[in-house]
Structure 1
Amino acid sequence: MTVMRPALFLDRDGVLNVDRGYVSRIEDFEWIEGAKECVATFKARGWFVFVVTNQSGIARGFYTEEDMEKLHAHMAEELAEHGTAIDRYYHAPWHEEGEIARYRKHSIDRKPGPGMLLQAMADFPVNREQSFLIGDKQTDIEAAHAAGVGAFLFKGGNLATFAEWALASFEDGMRG
């Protein structure tokens, strides 16, 4: 029997790393305070941890999927050095006004659509009712709600501290 586990869904830019606008290069990447600790703590609890990130900069021609994958590999290396990992990175490179034709379309994967979260729940044995997302934009919150998971709006500070507060609030809400 497959054991269902809760999942922490994390937006990338503005939650895991400082959002400098279309971050695609390792030299522009800077972790948010407490981000690595947040991932490690939830993984130690037995949770899945997923990144769900819109990457319209790909559709806009600012960088390529390969650039993004190199950045995610860099993140994975740094998390491994911290003794932890992201279970999977999901991205939505689509944008209806994109410059790159193959990415110029509407997609349910692009937040506020729930596609990336739904795909993670199809790929892994996620307990939806015990899962939540931390994002920094209203579209993140809408995507989580559309996918049937909890959601918290992160406005900066220490992500590990915020995630502990979010977990406590979420569990209180489940009991209430």
Structure 2
Amino acid sequence: MSAAEVRPANPSDAAEIARIQRLTWRAAYADLLGAEAIDEFEKADLEGTWAETIEYPDSRVYLATEGSFTVGYCVAGPAPQDEAAAADGSPPEDAPGLIASLVVEPRWGRRGHAGRLLATAAAELRANGLNRGITWVAQSDHATLGFYRRAGWSPDGTVRTLDTGRGTLREVRLTGTLDLELTH
């Protein structure tokens, strides 16, 4: 295996992140969201959105690479109040970090890239004074739920339902420590 690394993204990476997102969403989420939603997603200006996300001051975008290939990305930062609130809307007792997105291109899966991305994001969130992370995962996405469970994260009982345009998508919120270590 070529050298695998995680590095901060820069605006010139926006096109590659958009490519990975389009490809992965088509492969992983077409059944959940429907072909129409995926087709609309394909037309969106993802490169522009990613360039803005990379420059946003309160979030960090990380890239997983293997050799000369970009194989995945992660977006992390302080959790907005509405993402961290309890189901009844009450604020959390702490200020958690949010893993807003963690995606590895399917053909590069099961090679440790997701773990390296999560560990890198968690280390920076911890360095910024946060001690707990949260993320949202589709309740039917067993692979992603399993990944976070292996990292020690678990559902905290909070759910949300998103309108996909052709139905609804139920997501569960997971939470866990930011004190993560990679194991080989």
Category of TM-score, reference length = shorter chain: 0.3 to 0.5
| TM-score calculated relative to the size of structure 2 | 0.34
Higher strand share: 2
Which of 1 and 2 has higher RCO (CA within 8 Å, sep 6+)? Answer: 1
| TM-score calculated relative to the size of structure 1 | 0.35
